[in-house]
Amino acid sequence: MDDDGELVRRMQAGDDEAFVMLVRRHQRGLLCLAHSVVGSRAVAEEVTQDTWMAVVRGIEKFEGRSSFKTWLYRVLINRAHSTMTRERRSGFPDDHLEEHFEEQFRQDGHWNTPPAAWSDDVDDAIVAAQLARRALDLLRRLPEAQRQIVYLHDVEHVSAHDIEGMLGISDGNQRVLLHRGRTRLRALLGAEMGTHR
């Protein structure tokens, strides 16, 4: 399979099939990331469509200074933020959980006590898969910065370096947001499972 770079070069040369292949390769990830930012499937679809339109209009300007995926996700995040400015969405975690979250970290951003992996207690693969899907749903309840970091890092497996480029944040800040986002997500899952980790 051609890598993104080859498909981008073909697209820049006017190959419509290369564009179709890029859409097939990245559509699901873009839609999930958009949904995690805006909190609505319909708005996420709109943001994703706007992103692909921006790619069509701007592909000639892509110079390859970053990976195509980094550039593509950055375009989507910008579009999602513009959309969020117009349509503020709810879905942040409950205020009464904030104190619990803050207790999980030292001043330097590291865990006080690392949490046990919730999946270690799940012996039924079907239940584990259902919980994984639920975790994706619960991402909407995280604050925006944490939501983006957790999604990009844990779902899309984007490198820390690429996330820095996409979101314009330092490595240290990224690590703190990732830990806090994971802790919030764990607490929300734990509340649904009747456990407190």
- Residue 155 CA to residue 137 CA, distance in Å, equals 12
What share of the chain has pLDDT > 90, as a percent?
Answer: 19
pLDDT the model gives residue 27 = 93
More confident residue, 156 or 114: 156
Write the CATH number of the domain with boundaries 4-86. 1.10.1740.10
Greatest Cα-to-Cα distance within the chain, rounded to the nearest angstrom: 56
Please count the other Cβ atoms lying within 10 Å of the Cβ belonging to residue 192: 12
Q: In one letter, which amino acid is 158?
A: V
Q: Which residue has the higher pLDDT, 187 or 11?
A: 11
pLDDT at 22: 93
pLDDT tens digit sequence for 162-180: 888 788 888 888 888 888 8
Amino acid identity, position 121: D
- What pLDDT, in 10s, does the model give residues 18-38? 999 999 999 999 988 888 888
* 64 CB-contact burial (10 Å; exposed 0-12 / middle 13-18 / buried 19+): exposed
Please state whether 151 falls in left (phi above 0), alpha (psi between -120 and 50) or beta: alpha
Answer whether 4-86 and 95-193 agree in fold. no
Q: How would DSSP label each residue in the chain? A: ---HHHHHHHHHTT-HHHHHHHHHHHHHHHHHHHHHHHS-HHHHHHHHHHHHHHHHHHGGG--SSS-HHHHHHHHHHHHHHHHHHHS----PPPGGGHHHHHHTB-TTS-BSSPPPPGGGG---HHHHHHHHHHHHHHGGGS-HHHHHHHIIIIIS---HHHHHHHHT--HHHHHHHHHHHHHHHHHHHHHHHT---
CATH class of 95-193: mainly alpha
Structure tokens at 10: 């073909």
The residue ranges of every structural domain in the chain are 4-86, 95-193
Torsion of CA 10, 15, 18, 22, to 10 degrees: 90
Please say if the pLDDT value at position 151 is more than 60: yes
